Structure 1
């Protein structure tokens, strides 16, 4: 398994949360933002208008009180009420337009980002996926990208809108009454201290929540994937207790976060109430001294109420920005992974015959741990060579080197006497067909899975390939034939049926060289004969490399290469290797006993 070779990670851990704003990350994200910059700029340019319409409302109340109500003058009051109503409608319409444009630009940015990220991931080398869990890679495309969407639509824009609002309120207060404004703003230093305290403590709380959430998710995924083993070994109670421990830790982390959120909210409410008390105390005195009007006092109370609204929401906005920055850093690290160049090199070999030569090949996944050691083997055009050996002998790794999923540390691999390092990966994978051990079928229908978008094959040729692969026996049983639906990973088909369909898939692409990687393992006795017939058609006229644990499937190969601890230990025909009474002889004797027992079971 890939994990045996060392599992690294190019990503930040789930618990790592960086700054709430990082200019370096924003600069790199600008690549995705810039195509939509005018839409964003127009959307943000509406924020001062929204703030202005909101700030106008307390001033209109002040005017109505001072100019009309306090004087008992009705003239002009209807006009003020109409302007106030228009300000409310205008605020609603402009806010709607601003939010719509912002969300639209955010969705376009996320579409571009997710598309480019998926395209980039498809070009990453196989070594990347060997070292990184698929679940975490999927999280980059889903949760982390969505966190960025939250930043664009709810984080940055809200901070900018709040900045306009707070500055506007302070200017409005100073214009109305400088002394009262300065007295009112005495509470701001206390707000700054509380905000700084929350930023430090809240950051730790959010980090702890993400760490505990990641542990809960990981435990859930592992247990649900292995539910059959859990049931067989009666681990339900023990697993439940373990899950409860993780769940309690997550609850405790959330309680800590709730504590700081509640502290911030209550503190802002307290300071807001103190601010109101200051306005009433100082402003009331000014009114009694006839140096301040009642309308100004009411306007100040309205402005102060609006002043504290964005500060109350600081915790949610700060969390959005902090998580978005961490998600951005992980996404950008993924973009930094070097892509595999599929087209670099010679695009073809003239008149390909199919000769393959391994020359002194050595390879290691981790430095100092050789998986392949000084391996040399020449396979002639049209020859069928089987490679056998115990698990971990290096058989599948050898084929990954041939397909240029990895590059050898030492030695060269030649196809028709051309070093494959000079051939494009695209050409190599086009001309080498592979039937893997774990057959992967995509959700869709059978025809789509056989064609894999290869529309150059006619329907007649497709049906003929299916017949040659003996997959027609599978398709005949289905009501919809080639249009029969395939569930995720082909779970509605047996292992044998999937392998027959994979044979048809390879025949459809008609490769010059064929690799069968444990392609006949895990097959029931009834299906094996059918598969052997399909294999004869598949191997006909092609240079073939067959990897198998079950030696009964390779005895008719032209030659058999025996690998042990990454080295080529024996080479010859089935009969020659049996006469030597070496590794192959011992393997064959052992498996012969197993086959005999299987036959006895069938006879029973």
Structure 2
């Protein structure tokens, strides 16, 4: 956790103010029992009313000053902890943005969300407490002991028994609590994962009548979290009764031995009253420490998980001195590329070599698992090649900054993704400063204008979370419009026409011809009708290119392509 707290450097001045205010508050609270003792010993016992009013007035002023210090310190500590949490969340978010898909697969989306929200909130809450209590509690404890000794040193020997017992109880429970808090965070991750899968896959769950199965999964994860939480709460619940038991026995001992000392004339009544108040301050300072010890184990577990994210170095990083692209606009080259997924024995791609030139459409077709989408993922550098090289505009993608590389690419993923906001905002996701004319033109080219115009608010119509209020084909067309609006030098369509009917598919490909005259176009498709008009078709099988040519050439020369065509088209359609 201390590693994270190094980020508090920008808040040094507010922290110094907080410490100063807490110091003043502690001094005020430590001084009040002494004044009370003076009122009893010199005012009430001697019947000196003016003295009572005088010291009472000072007590009121000091109490108000202490309260003001407490309020201001609380405000500053909350503001500091909130700023720290905001800064930490931003840092985690920026770091995660640079992760390759491998890191996302390793940590999991649900876990990353928990770490960015719940875990950081745990650290924030502890920081708020620490800025107040971690400073105040030791000061009140040490100051209380010092002031109690000043009232009666002999009676203070009671603390030699009480304090070790309390400190031992706090340390023992804190040590047992840390592993349990780590378990809780893992159980919470699991619950989030199950819940996220169930909600995002609700259509599949219902269509296969798997509701009962999902309820069992959720109840299992929920029960595990409950059981772990109960263990922690039972452990922590024992702390307060132990503290109160020791404190009550301490009060009995103080009153018993204090009464004897008053009876023998070695102590004043006012001093005993002050001594009891100091004893209470010492006890409550230890209770404050116990509360922090309850929170610190959970925050420590959260801090470890946050540090795990921040310490994870992305497999993909920009070169120290990125190169600029050559003048080969809209050119993609694969040079003997081999790629293996991390931990996989067999290569997903082997010996891939081809060139896609501007103004040409290169289509890729093959069976499921042949490596088509994996090949496309290497162009925007979602993964790095194992062997060989991928070049965009004549420059190896590993020698370019990721931002410059992806600025040249319009990517439409296999699963269309839309964001909460209007249709226009979703299309502008491809180009922030796109004019309304550019947005409309992109939508028209993507064959989306008709259904947009039929919506109540047109381009200002709201898209629900995940695009659940539009059909699959409409989502694909909006995703295509998002890529078109940026007018990139390379277009990548990863099976992006699968949800379109044949008529819309044909119209869209015809419209793309005039839009991509100076750009390279790569299309992955399962349907032969989508690829048959391409300038070149690459046939893939088991991670290798087993054929390259036009539709007619491949029909004549490539057995794999003929099998794919014959499985989709009739003899008349092929002829």
Q: TM-score, normalised by structure 1?
A: 0.87
Which ranges in structure 2 are unaligned for 5 or more consecutive residues? none
For residue 55 of structure 1, the aligned residue among 5, 27, 30 is 30
Structure 2 CA distance for partners of 1:54 and 1:490, relative to 1, 3 Å: same
Report the alpha carbon displacement of residue 530 of structure 1 after superposing the two structures with TM.
Answer: 4.4
For residue 554 of structure 2, the aligned residue among 569, 577, 585 is 577
Q: Is the 8 A contact 2:365 2:526 kept in 1?
A: yes
Q: Spell out the pairing of 1:418-457 with structure 2 (5 A cutoff).
A: 418-452=395-429, 454=431, 457=434
Determine whether 1:104 maps to 2:79: yes
Q: Spell out the pairing of 1:536-547 with structure 2 (5 A cutoff).
A: 536-547=513-524
Moved more, 76-85 or 335-344: 335-344
Determine whether 1:186 maps to 2:161: yes
Equivalent residue, structure 1, for 2:309 = 334
Equivalent residue, structure 1, for 2:492 = 515
Report the alpha carbon displacement of residue 265 of structure 1 after superposing the two structures with TM.
Answer: 1.3
Determine whether 1:565 maps to 2:553: no
Structure 2 CA distance for partners of 1:410 and 1:208, relative to 1, 3 Å: closer
Determine whether 1:265 maps to 2:265: no
Moved more, 176-185 or 37-46: 176-185
For residue 108 of structure 2, the aligned residue among 133, 145, 163 is 133
Moved more, 225-234 or 501-510: 225-234
For residue 363 of structure 1, the aligned residue among 336, 339, 350 is 339
Report the alpha carbon displacement of residue 349 of structure 1 after superposing the two structures with TM.
Answer: 2.0
Equivalent residue, structure 2, for 1:43 = 18
Structure 2 CA distance for partners of 1:155 and 1:526, relative to 1, 3 Å: farther
SS at match of 2:347: strand
Structure 2 CA distance for partners of 1:398 and 1:155, relative to 1, 3 Å: same
Determine whether 1:90 maps to 2:65: yes
Equivalent residue, structure 1, for 2:175 = 200
Q: Is the 8 A contact 1:358 1:375 kept in 2?
A: yes
SS at match of 1:514: strand
Q: In the TM superposition, what whole-angstrom CA distance separates every residue of 1:27-57 from its partner, at most 9, and x where no partner exists?
A: 5532x21111011111112112111111222
Q: In the TM superposition, what whole-angstrom CA distance separates every residue of 1:210-251 from its partner, at most 9, and x where no partner exists?
A: 344443333333333333444344444454455444444433
Report the alpha carbon displacement of residue 355 of structure 1 after superposing the two structures with TM.
Answer: 3.4
Q: In the TM superposition, what whole-angstrom CA distance separates every residue of 1:505-545 from its partner, at most 9, and x where no partner exists?
A: 33321122221110101234564454344444444453221
Equivalent residue, structure 2, for 1:551 = 528
Report the alpha carbon displacement of residue 463 of structure 1 after superposing the two structures with TM.
Answer: 3.2
For residue 458 of structure 2, the aligned residue among 458, 467, 481 is 481
Determine whether 1:279 maps to 2:254: yes
What is the CA–CA distance in structure 2 between the aligned matches of 1:466 and 1:205, rounded to whole Å?
54
SS at match of 1:76: helix
Determine whether 1:413 maps to 2:390: yes
Report the alpha carbon displacement of residue 594 of structure 1 after superposing the two structures with TM.
Answer: 14
SS at match of 1:178: coil
Q: Is the 8 A contact 1:443 1:489 kept in 2?
A: yes
Equivalent residue, structure 2, for 1:158 = 133
For residue 220 of structure 1, the aligned residue among 180, 195, 200 is 195
Report the alpha carbon displacement of residue 414 of structure 1 after superposing the two structures with TM.
Answer: 3.2
What is the CA–CA distance in structure 2 between the aligned matches of 1:331 and 1:478, rounded to whole Å?
44
Determine whether 1:349 maps to 2:326: yes
What is the CA–CA distance in structure 1 between the aligned matches of 2:260 and 2:224, rounded to whole Å?
54
Moved more, 274-283 or 572-581: 572-581
Which ranges in structure 1 are unaligned for 5 or more consecutive residues? 1-24, 597-604
Report the alpha carbon displacement of residue 439 of structure 1 after superposing the two structures with TM.
Answer: 2.1
Q: Is the 8 A contact 1:500 1:534 kept in 2?
A: no
Q: In the TM superposition, what whole-angstrom CA distance separates every residue of 1:182-208 from its partner, at most 9, and x where no partner exists?
A: 234421122222223212323344334
What is the CA–CA distance in structure 2 between the aligned matches of 1:529 and 1:568, rounded to whole Å?
26
What is the CA–CA distance in structure 2 between the aligned matches of 1:280 and 1:139, rounded to whole Å?
51
Report the alpha carbon displacement of residue 425 of structure 1 after superposing the two structures with TM.
Answer: 3.1
Determine whether 1:74 maps to 2:29: no
Report the alpha carbon displacement of residue 353 of structure 1 after superposing the two structures with TM.
Answer: 4.0
SS at match of 1:522: coil
Structure 2 CA distance for partners of 1:495 and 1:539, relative to 1, 3 Å: farther
Equivalent residue, structure 2, for 1:404 = 381
Q: Is the 8 A contact 1:357 1:415 kept in 2?
A: yes
Q: In the TM superposition, what whole-angstrom CA distance separates every residue of 1:65-104 from its partner, at most 9, and x where no partner exists?
A: 1112223332311122222222322221110011111111
Q: Is the 8 A contact 1:503 1:534 kept in 2?
A: no
What is the CA–CA distance in structure 2 between the aligned matches of 1:530 and 1:426, rounded to whole Å?
32
Determine whether 1:256 maps to 2:231: yes
Equivalent residue, structure 2, for 1:29 = 5
What is the CA–CA distance in structure 1 between the aligned matches of 2:237 and 2:27, rounded to whole Å?
31
Moved more, 358-367 or 161-170: 358-367
Moved more, 310-319 or 400-409: 310-319
Q: Is the 8 A contact 2:182 2:301 kept in 1?
A: no
Equivalent residue, structure 2, for 1:171 = 146
Determine whether 1:290 maps to 2:276: no
Q: Is the 8 A contact 2:178 2:301 kept in 1?
A: no
Q: Is the 8 A contact 1:63 1:295 kept in 2?
A: yes
Report the alpha carbon displacement of residue 315 of structure 1 after superposing the two structures with TM.
Answer: 4.3
What is the CA–CA distance in structure 2 between the aligned matches of 1:66 and 1:27, rounded to whole Å?
52
Q: In the TM superposition, what whole-angstrom CA distance separates every residue of 1:277-318 from its partner, at most 9, and x where no partner exists?
A: 111111111111111111111112222222222333444312
Moved more, 294-303 or 337-346: 337-346
Quote the RMSD (CA, aligned, Å). Answer: 2.7
Moved more, 170-179 or 531-540: 531-540
Report the alpha carbon displacement of residue 137 of structure 1 after superposing the two structures with TM.
Answer: 1.7
What is the CA–CA distance in structure 2 between the aligned matches of 1:317 and 1:365, rounded to whole Å?
45
Report the alpha carbon displacement of residue 401 of structure 1 after superposing the two structures with TM.
Answer: 1.5
Q: TM-score, normalised by structure 2?
A: 0.91
Q: In the TM superposition, what whole-angstrom CA distance separates every residue of 1:402-421 from its partner, at most 9, and x where no partner exists?
A: 22222211112234544343
Q: Is the 8 A contact 2:74 2:132 kept in 1?
A: no
SS at match of 1:479: coil
Q: In the TM superposition, what whole-angstrom CA distance separates every residue of 1:472-516 from its partner, at most 9, and x where no partner exists?
A: 213221232222222223222222222222333333211222211
Structure 2 CA distance for partners of 1:326 and 1:197, relative to 1, 3 Å: closer
